[in-house]
Structure 1
């Protein structure tokens, strides 16, 4: 099965959280903060959203930083994804 986003939506796959701090302390799963970095898996076509023309500025394979409480989490074929609006993406990591 494949997710195909509509309008200005983007499907993201969250990158793994770091398990150790910079000083070398290993964090248990509950103490790890969810990372706000993700990889773009699929991009919608853009188009007219709320009367404004939306040009998609991200592409499949980009690594991005997104808003902390943005999007909808979905689980498909045992994988977890987040569907967000393009406006919830803050930056592309190069």
Structure 2
């Protein structure tokens, strides 16, 4: 199902990857100690700017800054809206 939010300009909507539930050695991490993920999937993109078309597209897996974007909740799911410049890489 496509997301009906349409970002404006050079903004994108990212669905954050879930936080790690346990360490590599199998120890479960409590909710209070979980790190915010810095990886997610682009679910909507704006039209870009006239002189700067967007590089990312819907479906791209991206890495972004720890404090990037504004958190929103839409239809029970949490998303981040951020400028494309807040995205560091496509993975």
Tell me, yes or no, if structure 1 residue 74 matches structure 2 residue 72: yes
Runs of 4+ aligned structure 1 residues displaced above 4 Å come to none
Distance in 1 (CA, whole Å) between partners of 2:37 and 2:74 is 20
Give the alignment's TM-score, normalised by structure 1: 0.89
Per-residue deviation, 1:55: 1.5
Residue 42 of structure 1 is matched in structure 2 by 44
Structure 2: runs of 5+ lacking an equivalent = none
- 2:17 aligns to what? 15
- Provide the rounded CA distance (Å) in 1 between the counterparts of 2:87 and 2:67: 11
Of Structure 1 and Structure 2, the greater strand share is in 1
Which of 63, 79, 89 lines up with 2:87 in the alignment?
89
TM-score (norm 2): 0.92
How many residue pairs are counted as aligned between the two chains? Answer: 89
Gap runs ≥5 in structure 1: none
- After superposition, the C-alpha distances for 1:16-55 in whole angstroms (9 at most, x for unaligned) are 111111111110111110110010000100024xxxx212
